[in-house]
Amino acid sequence: MKRLLVLAIMAAFILGTVGMAQAVEIQAKGTWRVHFNYLKNADFNNDVKVDKFQAMQRVRTQFEFIASENLKGVLHLEIGNVAWGRTQGAEGRANIGPNSGGALNADGVNIATKNAFIQFNVPGTAAAVKAGIQGFALPSTYGSHILSADVAALAAIVPFNEMMGLTVAWARPYDVTQGELVDHKWNDEVDVFAAVLPIAMDGVTLNPFAVYARWGKDYLNHRFGGASAVPAAPVPGVDNPFKNANQWFGGVNFTVDMLDPIVFFGDFNYGRVNLGDNMKARGFIADLAVQYRMPMLTPELFFLYESGEGSGYTNEDGRINGKRMPTIGTDGTSWAPTALGMTGSAFGGGTDAILRSFMFDLATDTIGDNPAARIDQYWATNGTLGMWALGAKLGDISFIDRLSHDVIFMFAKGTNNTANRQLFTKDDKYYEVTFDSNYQIYENLAARLELGWGKLDLDNLGTTTRSNLAKDDAWKAAAGFIYRF
């Protein structure tokens, strides 16, 4: 009888525990968009013929599984940038990639995991912990040049008081051969350690930060020296040019609104890395913006400066002495005040950043597939180009209820020495004008129209590749709907 009673109590306890585990609140939010893009001369390369028009869509939905105010799990799913009519699979012309899956009977569109993490408060404290694949971005005004991406990480947020706190994180962006059966111990891990100290005072907000990243030499050999899925085997008698690279960054982001409605924003970042005995890079970026906030209009001026490469950046013996600030990874989102040249569009997909795309192509075509070219490609898509830019924005123009406009003018010029014709040099210029409109149909649904013009002026052509590029202006027209909930 006692045994039956004990079994009954244990069963009740187990069933009660299961019931508690299932008692979670599920909340959903997301951004769904459908858009139609026209983009002419997408990367300023007339030798490459691509469709100028695309119809596309993207779905991002985030689910929060909330057990209590102290514990939740977050799952963020994505169906990304599906181009209407583009096939996925082996039928007909196979186009398997990030924009595929929009053809007839398009039921093979894959759902990707964007974020998946646990977030909980440390018992008895105000500290919080996030563990898993999560969005992580260093503080910035227009987008980090160093790190802004979805990454597997462990982060702790510790508020000291109302004025100050601390965020520390460890992230592992890459470990190429983890769990694989290989015949060699590859040093192919990349680890990132970051600390941010947010400080909020009356009229001033400061976000100083420090970052250390370690790049395994075998990952660098894979990323910059070859295209295989795993690090290439060492060649007998040939030394790997890379070492285990130590990468350091420091910076501060600030906002000054004590003179409101005049508000100042800005950043200063410095970073350095030694990829090997003859492969080094160090540099800085600085930007400053000022806004004057008015009821129906917000004028803004902005300025950016990125350090550029000198005449001795590369030479015939393969030495690299870079003066652009290195990067970890930003998914192309660094410095984004404009909607054409730098990050493309609020819609993305078929309206990607044309200036970054051009610089990637120029680096690839001019000096071929070698470590310097791979570094130039990586910097072009993820970090600094080596340029300065000045722009003006008339933002939040609204004279009609629910309808607003942004007008942006920008001029940019390279800071790289003219000897580096695979880069954006001091003789090269870029002009851009964009006009974006947003009409809020409902509280959660907006119709958006983006118009843009961009012009490259390569004064010193110098090579056949440069002569074939930038002959025509770039034009963009994108329209669509964005549903946020």
Q: Domains, the chain, ranges and CATH?
A: 25-484 (2.40.160.100)
- As a whole number of angstroms, the distance between CA 87 and CA 317 comes to 45
- What is the number of residues in the chain? 485
pLDDT score, position 316: 59
User: If you write DSSP's letter for every residue of 380-415 in order, what string do you get?
Assistant: HHHS--SEEEEEEEEEEEEEETTEEEEEEEEEEEE-
User: If you write DSSP's letter for every residue of 82-128 in order, what string do you get?
Assistant: EEBT---SSSSS---STT--BSTT---PPPEEEEEEEEEEPTTSS-E
The reported pTM is 0.86
Helix axes 371-382, 217-225, angle to 10 degrees: 90
- As a whole number of angstroms, the distance between CA 442 and CA 436 comes to 19
| pLDDT (tens digit per residue) in 129-144 | 999 999 999 999 999 9
Q: Identify which of 75, 76, 69 has the alpha carbon closest to the alpha carbon of residue 24.
A: 69
Q: How far is CA 424 from the centre of its chain?
A: 21
Q: Is 39 exposed, middle or buried (0-12, 13-18, 19+ CB in 10 A)?
A: buried
- As a whole number of angstroms, the distance between CA 365 and CA 132 comes to 38
Distances in whole angstroms, Cα of residue 215 to Cα of each of 19, 313, 328, 369, 485: 46, 22, 10, 21, 39
Token pair in block for residue 63: 């689910």
Distances in whole angstroms, Cα of residue 387 to Cα of each of 184, 197, 309, 355, 454: 42, 29, 10, 12, 16
Token pair in block for residue 390: 């000045």
pLDDT tens per residue across all 485 residues of the chain: 444 443 343 444 444 544 445 678 999 999 999 999 998 877 666 566 677 898 999 999 999 999 999 999 999 999 888 888 877 544 444 444 555 567 777 665 678 899 999 999 999 999 999 999 999 999 999 999 999 999 999 999 999 999 999 999 999 998 877 766 666 777 888 999 999 999 999 999 999 999 999 988 887 766 665 444 455 555 444 556 677 889 999 999 999 999 999 999 999 999 999 887 778 899 999 999 999 999 999 999 999 999 999 988 876 566 788 999 999 988 766 777 777 877 767 776 666 777 787 777 777 765 555 677 778 888 888 889 999 999 999 999 999 999 999 999 999 999 999 888 888 899 999 999 999 999 999 999 999 999 999 988 886 655 555 666 656 788 999 999 999 99
E strands in 197-297: 199-201, 204-215, 245-259, 262-276, 279-292
- As a whole number of angstroms, the distance between CA 24 and CA 65 comes to 6
- As a whole number of angstroms, the distance between CA 27 and CA 64 comes to 5
Q: Identify which of 149, 119, 141 has the alpha carbon closest to the alpha carbon of residue 132.
A: 119
- As a whole number of angstroms, the distance between CA 206 and CA 336 comes to 20
